[in-house]
Structure 1
Amino acid sequence: MDMITSADSHQLPMLQKVLGAATEEASQAMSVWTGGKISLSLDCVREIPIEMVSQEFDLGMDLLTMVVLTIEGEIGGTMILTFDEENGRRLAASLFKQDVSTESEWSELERSALNETGNILGCAYFNAIARLVNSEFVPSPPIFLQDYGVCVLQQALMEQVQETTDVLICQTTFLQGRETLNWKILFLPDPKMRETLRAST
């Protein structure tokens, strides 16, 4: 587990435990959704200065397919599910047992498949955290995007710039058997969520 230390680095292992439990629950939901083909693994929990985020979480310069969910309310955060074009379309095709589309535009069915994937993952993840911190979260509907990953990440961070100088990010990877897929989840809790997570550890 790769972690970057911070002033609160002694709490990172405890935060890792909380977020690891949420990842495990999301993994179980993903396994059911994909017929046992896909699972999740917690990659890292990092607390780093905001200005370093884009460097540390290099999403490349290519357009990505993403599903974004947010937790609405006083305690919040953003979940960004990212795919490259090929892997996103493969997932959509496998869920509906169809051939991988070669059309330039994504169909409504493909978009729906990825949005539902984000919804299932987000609900499982957020519900697990809500139970662990004895709170209640209301996730937004999933939003399908095709954009540069760094732009979406920076937009998610903009809301935190006025409140904090560093950010907590949890990164999760996807596995098909033992093969690591080119999919990722980035979870960015806001400062109040971070305080709630710390208080629960």
Structure 2
Amino acid sequence: MAAVLMHMLGDLTGRTMLVFPRSSALRLAELMLHRDAGTSLEFGEMEQSALKEAGNILSSAYMNALSEFMHLMLLPSPPSLAVDMSTAVLTTAYLQFSSQRDYVFCVESEFMMVKLSEKLRGFFLLLPDPASLQVLLRAVRVA
């Protein structure tokens, strides 16, 4: 599994994770680096950089949508990347983000490459801080 992790700053605080299965993460890096399918077997420096950039773009897009919906300012931090077994990535992220987070918002994302007849699946996770969770829940109830 590969996960791009970012802090969410501004009017709401917390963390975001963009999570991909290993094969999808490698393929996404190949596409971004204009490489043929199956040519990237490991997460080298270029693959890591490409995934962090993809995570930055996608997480920022999700945060912008949330920001516009709630009329709040949300700012992303620079991305970091974790590559490991899924349990290790998620457990480490949970412990680093504080055990006070009982709720996670999850958005499944599919990337369709029609010309290549491919699709890649990933998940955007939003882990709000406790105070931010209350703001989010109030906003959802109003909408």
TM-score range for the pair, normalised by the shorter chain length: 0.7 to 0.9
Identity of aligned residues (%): 32
1:191 lines up with 2:127 in the alignment = no
* Residue-by-residue CA offset, 1:40-87 (whole Å, 9 max, x unaligned): xxxxxxxxxxxxxxxxxxxxxxxx122111213573222222222222
Superposed counterparts of 1:156-175, under 5 Å: 156-158=93-95, 159-161=97-99, 163=100, 166-175=102-111
Structure 1 unaligned residues grouped into runs of 5+ = 1-63
The equivalent of 1:70 in structure 2 is 7
After TM superposition, the score normalised by the length of structure 1 is 0.57
Q: Give the 4+ runs in structure 1 shifted more than 4 A.
A: 101-104, 177-180
1:139 lines up with 2:103 in the alignment = no
**Aligned-residue offset at 1:122:** 1.1
Structure 2 unaligned residues grouped into runs of 5+ = none
After TM superposition, the score normalised by the length of structure 2 is 0.76
From 73, 81, 86, give the equivalent of 1:149.
Answer: 86
8 Å CA contact 2:10, 2:73 repeated in 1: no
8 Å CA contact 1:78, 1:156 repeated in 2: no
Superposed counterparts of 1:17-28, under 5 Å: none
Q: How many residues end up aligned between the 2 structures?
A: 136
8 Å CA contact 1:173, 1:180 repeated in 2: no
Superposed counterparts of 1:170-181, under 5 Å: 170-176=106-112, 181=120
